[in-house]
Amino acid sequence: MTKATIDNVAALAGVSIKTVSRVVNKEPNVRQSTRDKVLKAVAELDYRPNLSARSLAGNRSYVLGLLYDNPSANYVIDVQDGVLTTCRAQGYDVLIHPCNHQDPDIGKEVTNLIRQTRIDGIILTPPLSDVSAILEVLKDSRIPFVRIAPTLQKDLCPYVETNDAEAAYDMTNQLISLGHRRIGFVSGHPDHRAVSHRFEGYRAALVENHIELDDDLVVQGYNSFESGEEAANTLLNLSARPSAIFAANDDMAAGVMMVAHQMGIDIPRELSVAGYDDTPVAHQIWPSLTTVRQPIQAMAQKATDLLLKQLMGKEVQLPASMLSSSLIQRDSTGPAGPAR
Amino acid sequence: MTKATIDNVAALAGVSIKTVSRVVNKEPNVRQSTRDKVLKAVAELDYRPNLSARSLAGNRSYVLGLLYDNPSANYVIDVQDGVLTTCRAQGYDVLIHPCNHQDPDIGKEVTNLIRQTRIDGIILTPPLSDVSAILEVLKDSRIPFVRIAPTLQKDLCPYVETNDAEAAYDMTNQLISLGHRRIGFVSGHPDHRAVSHRFEGYRAALVENHIELDDDLVVQGYNSFESGEEAANTLLNLSARPSAIFAANDDMAAGVMMVAHQMGIDIPRELSVAGYDDTPVAHQIWPSLTTVRQPIQAMAQKATDLLLKQLMGKEVQLPASMLSSSLIQRDSTGPAGPAR
DNA sequence: TTGAAAGCGCTAACAT
DNA sequence: ATGTTAGCGCTTTCAA
């Protein structure tokens, strides 16, 4: 009952195992009547190919590796779901592999992973998409891979990205159109280049509106709530404090709001706050946070799709793909008050 | 360079492949000097056993399946991390399998998973730990499995649980000792029995303190932020509204706080709010949320450990394991104000 | 369009 | 303590 091998199916259908293999793998050159016989036998015996055997004989595993080192549970889960959705539809499985992008042995770790599990391809998410030790290993081992939101060496493999800078630009513009002129910015972790590049959008919007970039208004954050709090402490204690703060992610924006609350600063009347990512906290916090939503699941699906196409030998005619983020207007932003 | 099989190692070491196998699998009955020779050859060739071959020959995959259907990204990630930590230490990999506990075909899905991937064991998390269709399949297929926080048929397999009811009891007691008498309760999703059983702790504390259970103060929630908002709308519009609300998870507690803010009710001066889970939102929200922290990662590690022991044929002398949750005191709870 | 035979790289059962 | 011999269940040549 727990068995039923290709031999059983072949015997029942009265064909050779090679024919069964052809049918199961949807190969061409099988007469329709033969195909039907085989499928009937497959159904009758409830046959499932043994993946280990297939993997050993075919020299591939039908498993993709998903590498990540992202402290945001929501981001990781969204990526996983996207990857899994596409993989399941194509009969692939996923091996998740969280790791530490600062580990000096990260290259060896990835080598191990590839050699041991014989995964067929790898999906890299930020910030790993920009870790050169990993890219090096992947290139050398000639294993197909894709990257989500890389910022470096984009010619290395297919990739999927979003218009981060553009969305940040839109958000900043929106704040400016609400009358804000002194807009603080809490930048992202320098290792997360995609996040840190959101700063470019902020800068571009200022330039376009002829607002001088004030260095005092730009504070380095590290993507965490706590770093947002620290940044807010700096910004809100400035002699001329900003009327709006745009944080490069929601966690930091939440930190900003926490400090504002503690200082008795009313949001959005005295201070507008904007974030980026649309994590759950963004709508659970009070007041709810104006932010930017990224199509994380869609990006992951697209990336997986690109990878699978590569594996099937199809030339990827669209080696790069751009998906759009969108602005989510909530209650934490409003018109600038009278100058203070 | 991408190869190096057991034959190569055997040849280089001047032994048979069986001896190499013994060394690699840490089997006994190998002379130390032989072992050293083999290990040297392994190192020299940078040999890694092919898992597919091992799996096929040994009739096991060295892969565990992790099944879940939990909307909380943080919970899932914590479980994954716990499982992975223990698995890696023992040379196992993990296949993640999110699914829908209400899917009528869930049983067939699990059967497929087992038959196809030949995973060696399964870890079940809530609410799947209580889905009888799954338990049925698992029992029939005789695949080893463990459950995290099951509430039903605890004799079915080893399991790990926490003292949910006790922690809820402590939290309620704490509120009572702060002077609260009318304490609202937002209960959890009925399918998540572990969550919904937190109500028992609440009830027990009331009984012990001779406070009558007022049905109006207990509102059914569904674990989501939105259901917390709805519950709060009910509770806070009561003619005699509660001075404290204990929600069975943090998301719902956040919903309660949102409504309180919108109604201009000051927390904790006019209303104390408590949650459960200590998700990130708990400390990012304002005021920060008093809650209960569960040792999710530790539970997952323990569960995986129990499963691996089972797989190695060791009698699990401790088929059930209880880990303790702890109360986290923050700013959302305070003394009851004057009667209103 | 179909089939026969030869492995893939390992473990298991049985020698020695 | 070590080696020999069969497979595990599939895919891949290569024939037919």
Locate the domains of chain B by residue range. 6-58, 63-162+296-325, 164-294
Gap between the Cα atoms of A209 and B305, Å rounded: 60
In single-letter form, the type of residue at position B159 comes to Y
Q: Which H or E run contains A307?
A: helix A296-311
Answer yes or no: same fold for A6-58 and A164-294: no
Gap between the Cα atoms of A121 and A310, Å rounded: 9
pLDDT at A2: 54
Whole-model pTM: value is 0.93
Q: How far is the CA of A163 from the C1' of D1 (A)?
A: 65
Nearest CB among A51, A78, A80 relative to B117 is that of A51
Nearest CB among A73, A81, A285 relative to B284 is that of A285
Nucleotide nearest to B10 (CA to C1'): D3
Q: What is the mean pLDDT of residues A13-18?
A: 89
Q: How far is the CA of A63 from the C1' of D8 (A)?
A: 20
CATH (residue range A6-58): 1.10.260.40
β-pairing, B145-148 vs B159-162, is: parallel
pLDDT at A3: 72
pLDDT at A59: 85
pLDDT at A46: 87
Q: Scanning every residue of chain B, which has its alpha carbon at the shortest distance from the alpha carbon of A257?
A: B286
Percent of chain A clearing pLDDT 90 (strictly above): 67
In single-letter form, the type of residue at position B19 comes to T
> Helices B73-89 & B296-311, crossing angle to 10 degrees?
40
**Do the Cβ atoms of B285 and A283 come within 8 Å?**
no
Gap between the Cα atoms of B66 and A295, Å rounded: 26
B261 in contact with chain A, both atoms CB, cutoff 8 A: yes
**Which regions in chain B score pLDDT beneath 50?**
1, 340
Tokens of B280: 């990130």
Contact assessment for residue A313 and residue A299, using Cβ atoms and an 8 Å cutoff: no
Gap between the Cα atoms of B265 and B245, Å rounded: 13
CATH (residue range A164-294): 3.40.50.2300
Partner B, chain A 5-44, Cβ-Cβ below 8 Å: none
B21 beta carbon < 7 A from strand C?
yes
B102 beta carbon < 7 A from strand D?
no
Is residue A22 over pLDDT 80?
yes
CA-closest candidate to residue A74, choices B276, B81, B72:
B72
Which chain A residues are Cβ-neighbours of B228 within 8 angstroms? none
Gap between the Cα atoms of A162 and A289, Å rounded: 21
Q: What is the mean pLDDT of residues A64-88?
A: 95
Nucleotides of chain C touched by protein CB (<7 A): 1-13
pLDDT at B1: 45
Is residue A257 over pLDDT 90?
yes
The pLDDT tens digits of the residues spanning A173-216 come to 999 999 999 999 999 999 988 777 899 999 999 999 999 999 99
β-pairing, A326-328 vs A291-293, is: antiparallel
Ramachandran region, residue A210 (left: φ > 0; alpha: ψ -120 to 50; beta: rest): left
B256 in contact with chain A, both atoms CB, cutoff 8 A: no
Average pLDDT of the residues of chain B: 92
Gap between the Cα atoms of B164 and B194, Å rounded: 7
∠ CA B304-B323-B296, nearest 5°, is: 60
Q: What is the mean pLDDT of residues A313-329?
A: 84
Contact assessment for residue B247 and residue B276, using Cβ atoms and an 8 Å cutoff: yes
Q: Which CATH superfamily is domain A63-162+296-325 in?
A: Response regulator (3.40.50.2300)
